[in-house]
Structure 1
């Protein structure tokens, strides 16, 4: 067994002391290779956690002899002449990142994502591990791993160990509910007043609906929602083997409609991940390689399908009303159509590019979101399957098949596997769907609107009320009393006159001072703008005849004249009255 021991001397420094102890076989012919993960599951980009490592020391645990080592990459250390020794590695880890993928240490708590902090011995990732924590009296641990002794956690492998975040604190709140005999634990760290009765009622409902998708089968024996409820505005969630970490705030607003809706949405989303990506895993990540990028073209399934189900199952379970669900769906529509990168990059290529710049704004109009377009493409597929079979089959059947064939077997699926399962569930060729919307950049509006009409809904276009956006195709933000251009839509009047970061100072000789929209509304369609571009004053001309409008909003709404058949179809899809 490989042993880890964590302690801290001064929590105000945010430095954890980490100790790794392992026995090296006497017949070991190769040096001991120690590796720190460079990324974490759930965020597909290199994060280089070694930036948080301070003062590495290696010694013989029995004699205390210092063992020389050599750093061979940014996150790899080689220790020679270790055969037959018990090796102890000590180092400090800086835990000062409060988000759902981070770690945090202060006088009130220890929050750890082990994947950031724990080295492993190359070739020995499948050995059992033990993690012992030196904690103050009265601190308790929230974690998905079992405790074999006080403050001691055990894992079957390194992968299981680092996929089990923990919170240790004297102020943890906890409640448990059961669905299908499975215990689900809700842990809360933070200065908030949860309405446990409401929380348990809603969590039970969406948990039951999650289980129903997969035939009431759950991949793990229990589950833990680890919630960091923060004193400031925040929103983030990350999935794990049998747990999730959710960071949300501000704490005093937890039970208000806006923030509570976010808690429900992210919790349902992360629970669905227990099947989709933690169990039903892409072939390229079976197993994880923590040393480099694990490229895969199916993140639109792992994240897009999960984003669709995260809100959809809240409606199907009755936790969200139809109106609440449409509000969330309209938010996804807005985020997708607001970014013209969907015209330039396919979903499959965007999955690959997560490792490049998928979590950053990046170059304008370059990329598409696997979360947002992935969710809309999943909605389109679900409604298409339902229409083809008159609700006898749906995306539920696809996910259930993936779980049976790949989740339960531990075999990773490929993009060809997914296409095959979709085709078999549909009972017809679905290549056009994949060619257009997964591997191509075809517009979604027409197909999505047609699919929505099957359930008595429509995709309505709403004009953008902003003059600069709707008529001219550019956006601004006021920064330090300066009006700066932040976005320009390709092919619009603004695209031939303005550049990003232009500071607009006057319109037709009138000074701009939080009145840009008004100044662009008082003319004949031709405006002279004075702008500072790279600190040089220029005059540019904006012209429009008002016949073409830009950045229109898309909204899902019920058809006022929906037929009885459409209304019945709506009920079968959403499990709610029309």
Structure 2
């Protein structure tokens, strides 16, 4: 399979695409544009951005093509062994899951506009980009010049791309893994500071999980002049869109937070994936009840790793912890849905505010129940067991062999680490809409923290003046050291 992508008029924001399908042996084929994208569990309707589409034979004769669903087409081959599908896609949006082209930037999410032929989704792809002269490419796919290669459609559409003359980057290596940080935008990055902090949290994550799933990893950053915060995980990369580009401490804090979060996704969801989504079915919703694991645990760990790595101070970490406490309790403390049901309903309205008191956030409540579980395991075992052990167990059993886990697999893994059944946890935190205050403060007391609620609905996280509790807090947030900082930086 082969794609050619060009832009004849950057001001039009139109991608001109030719999809070549060889070795055809049928009277007709069906081609499918994805209905959604990994990392965003809602129907996206990318087909609405296709301006025109046609099918052409090898001798440039038009073939019949018509829609059979909103994003699927049937092509009559007329006996041809090779068919080209030519179409234009409107690339005008800039968030972490869209595509955009203008006079100085190509930002491509192939999931938006690349199709696959039914029955041939696992075949390899090459992509030729007719880029302007002098453009650099930032992408997780292997490339030779302006030609990219993907082993199958899944890898292709899980590998976003930035291309421009003005890309900036720095590189570092942790335990043999090559990391690249790419930036596009109106800013002058403090690369020394960025490399130091990224190296630290990368090292901490790899030390905790024992190994990294890939040999290389790319942080792709699009920095906008307007306020923005969005990141999406991918096969061996993440696409991050942030703003405004004032280079202030707020922008840097956002960069650290979203980058640490997205890096942990390299294990949790990219490889440790719910069985219902293995493989992805791009034609419809892939319902699953464990997004509180995929996003909640990742949200929790994103900030924990920054603290363990020494990038965050105690005060900064506690401030971040209070942020998702406030977001949960001030927005959805009285929601009627359980966390598991809200995971399932992501496909319905998970990224919108929705009606009052119905759903909870798999990110915010999911992070809080991950915190409760981590502190329970640590208290029970005097820190000999923790949520780290659960994540490593999921990696070894389901992520590394890439076989997918069920909700029951997650429950049994947690209880195996705990050494007991945890009916209270599943009932109070996961499967009902029971208020979370009691269980949360019960867990926080172990490390000298307490959440207070006020009559006006405000939330405050207090640090208790307790020497023993502080010792437990230090153990909870202690660095997992495999290599010293000096050894790693050499």
**Superposed CA offset, 1:498-529 (max 9, x none):** xxxxxxxxxxxxxxxxxxxxxxxxxxxxxxxx
Q: Give the structure 2 partner of residue 185 of structure 1.
A: 180
SS of the residue aligned with 1:203? helix
Q: Give the structure 2 partner of residue 211 of structure 1.
A: 206
Instruction: Confirm or deny that 1:314 pairs with 2:217.
Output: no
Q: Give the structure 2 partner of residue 166 of structure 1.
A: 161
Distance apart, 1:436 and its partner CA:
1.4
Q: Give the structure 1 partner of residue 88 of structure 2.
A: 92
Instruction: Confirm or deny that 1:112 pairs with 2:108.
Output: yes
Check conservation: 1:177, 1:200, Cα contact below 8 A: yes
**TM-score, length of structure 2 as denominator length:** 0.96
The match for 2:119 among 123, 134, 139 is: 123
Aligned length: 479
Distance 1:311 1:227 in 2: 19
**Superposed CA offset, 1:148-199 (max 9, x none):** x210000000000010000110000011001111110000001101000000
Distance 1:210 1:58 in 2: 48
**Superposed CA offset, 1:412-451 (max 9, x none):** 1000000000000001111220111100111111111111
Distance 1:327 1:239 in 2: 25
Distance apart, 1:351 and its partner CA:
0.6
The match for 1:381 among 369, 373, 377 is: 373
**Superposed CA offset, 1:335-359 (max 9, x none):** 0001236431100000111111111
Instruction: Confirm or deny that 1:202 pairs with 2:201.
Output: no
The match for 2:222 among 218, 221, 228 is: 228
Instruction: Confirm or deny that 1:9 pairs with 2:8.
Output: yes
SS of the residue aligned with 1:425? helix
Check conservation: 2:448, 2:470, Cα contact below 8 A: yes
Distance 1:316 1:224 in 2: 22
Q: Give the structure 2 partner of residue 251 of structure 1.
A: 245
**Superposed CA offset, 1:360-402 (max 9, x none):** 1111222110100000000000000101111001000000000
SS of the residue aligned with 2:342? helix
Check conservation: 1:176, 1:185, Cα contact below 8 A: yes
Check conservation: 1:347, 1:374, Cα contact below 8 A: yes
Instruction: Confirm or deny that 1:339 pairs with 2:370.
Output: no
Q: Check 1:189–1:82 CA distance in 2 against 1; reply closer, same or farther (3 A cut).
A: farther
Q: Give the structure 1 partner of residue 473 of structure 2.
A: 570
Distance 1:71 1:341 in 2: 45
Q: Check 1:83–1:298 CA distance in 2 against 1; reply closer, same or farther (3 A cut).
A: farther
SS of the residue aligned with 1:401? helix
Check conservation: 1:311, 1:325, Cα contact below 8 A: yes
Q: Give the structure 1 partner of residue 268 of structure 2.
A: 276
Instruction: Confirm or deny that 1:157 pairs with 2:159.
Output: no
Instruction: Confirm or deny that 1:414 pairs with 2:414.
Output: no
SS of the residue aligned with 2:85? strand
Check conservation: 2:333, 2:435, Cα contact below 8 A: no
Distance apart, 1:123 and its partner CA:
1.1
Q: Give the structure 2 partner of residue 487 of structure 1.
A: none
Instruction: Confirm or deny that 1:76 pairs with 2:68.
Output: no
Distance apart, 1:571 and its partner CA:
1.2
SS of the residue aligned with 2:357? coil
Distance 1:49 1:340 in 2: 31
SS of the residue aligned with 2:355? coil
| Most deviating of 406-415 and 340-349 | 340-349
Q: Check 1:154–1:460 CA distance in 2 against 1; reply closer, same or farther (3 A cut).
A: same
Q: Give the structure 1 partner of residue 142 of structure 2.
A: 146
Greater Rg, structure 1 or structure 2? 1
The match for 1:241 among 210, 221, 235 is: 235
Q: Give the structure 1 partner of residue 482 of structure 2.
A: none
**TM-score, length of structure 1 as denominator length:** 0.81
**Superposed CA offset, 1:448-502 (max 9, x none):** 11111111222233x3xxxxxxxxxxxxxxxxxxxxxxxxxxxxxxxxxxxxxxx
Check conservation: 2:245, 2:251, Cα contact below 8 A: no
Q: Give the structure 1 partner of residue 485 of structure 2.
A: none
Bigger relative contact order (CA 8 A; separation at least 6): 2
Distance 1:66 1:10 in 2: 25
Q: Give the structure 2 partner of residue 484 of structure 1.
A: none
The match for 2:60 among 38, 60, 64 is: 64
Distance 1:557 1:5 in 2: 57
Q: Give the structure 2 partner of residue 431 of structure 1.
A: 423
Distance apart, 1:284 and its partner CA:
0.6
Question: RMSD of the TM alignment (CA)?
Answer: 1.2
SS of the residue aligned with 1:4? strand
Instruction: Confirm or deny that 1:557 pairs with 2:462.
Output: yes
**Superposed CA offset, 1:130-161 (max 9, x none):** 011001110111000001x2100000000000
Distance 1:342 1:393 in 2: 32
**Superposed CA offset, 1:1-49 (max 9, x none):** x0000001101110000110011333x3x62010000100100000100
Distance apart, 1:550 and its partner CA:
3.6
Distance 1:234 1:247 in 2: 7
Distance apart, 1:410 and its partner CA:
1.2
Distance apart, 1:84 and its partner CA:
4.9
Distance 2:394 2:410 in 1: 8
